[in-house]
A and B are shown apart, each in its own frame.
Chain A
Amino acid sequence: MVGLSIGEKHFIQGGIAQDLRSDGRKRLTTRPIYVETGVISQANGSARVRMGATDVIASVKAELGRPNALQPDKGKVVVNVDCSPTAAPMFEGRGGEELSAELSVALQCCLLGGKSGSGAGIDLSSLVVVEGKICWDLYIDGLVVSSDGNLLDALGAAIKAALSNTGIPKVNVAAGASGDEQPEVDVSDEEFLQFDTSRVPVIVTLTKVGRHYIVDATSEEESQMSSAVSISINRQGHICGLTKRGGAGLDPSIILDMISVAKTVSEQLINTLDSHIAAAEAGEEES
Chain B
Amino acid sequence: MAGKGGAAPSTYSPSPTTQKTKSRIFGNDDVDWVRSDGREFHQCRPAFFKTGAVNAAAGSAYAEFGNTKVIVSVFGPRESKKAMMYSDIGRLNCNVSYTTFATPVRGQGSDHKEFSSMLHKALEGAIILETFPKTTVDVFALVLESGGSDLPVVISCASLALADAGIMMYDLVTSVSVSGLGKNLVIDPILEEESYQDGSLMLTCMPSRYEVTQLTITGEWSTPKINEGMQICLDACSKLAVVMRACLKGPDSTLEE
Interface residues of A (CB under 8 A from B): 69-70, 98, 101-102, 105, 109, 112-116, 118-119, 227, 229, 234, 238-252, 255-256, 259-260, 263
Contact = CB atoms under 8 A, between A and B. Distances in A.
Contacts of A240: 219-221
A259 B218 contact: no
A116 B194 CA distance: 9
B124 A247 contact: yes
A247 B223 contact: no
A244 B222 CA distance: 18
A105 B1 CA distance: 22
B249 interface: no
Given A70-B2, A249-B212, A255-B230, A239 B220 contact: yes
Nearest to B230: A252
Interface in B114-129: 114, 117, 121, 124-126
Contacts of B114: 101-102, 105
Contact of B220 (A98, A101, A118, A246): A118
B119 to A, nearest CB: 12
Contacts of B230: 252, 255-256
A102 B119 CA distance: 12
B100 to A, nearest CB: 20
Nearest to A118: B198
B202 to A, nearest CB: 10
A132 to B, nearest CB: 13
Query: By CB atoms of chain B within 10 A, which of A102, A243, A252, A260 has the most?
Result: A252
Interface string B139-176: 00000000000000000000000000000000000000
A92 to B, nearest CB: 14
Give the secondary structure class of B's interface.
Answer: mixed
Interface range for B: 35 or more
B214 interface: yes
Nearest to A249: B211
A114 to B, nearest CB: 3
A69 B5 CA distance: 13
Contacts of A250: 211-213
**Top 3 closest A-B pairs, CB basis?**
A119-B220, A249-B211, A114-B219
Given A116-B198, A241-B218, A101 B234 contact: no
A259 B198 contact: no
A252 B210 contact: yes
A115 B121 contact: no
A250 B122 CA distance: 12
Contacts of A119: 198-199, 219-221
B87 to A, nearest CB: 11
Nearest to A70: B1
Interface string B196-238: 1111100001100111111111111111001100100010000
Contact of A259 (B125, B180, B223, B234): B223
Contacts of B39: none
A113 B220 contact: yes
B197 A243 contact: no
Nearest to A117: B198
B171 to A, nearest CB: 9
Contacts of B219: 113-114, 118-119, 240-241
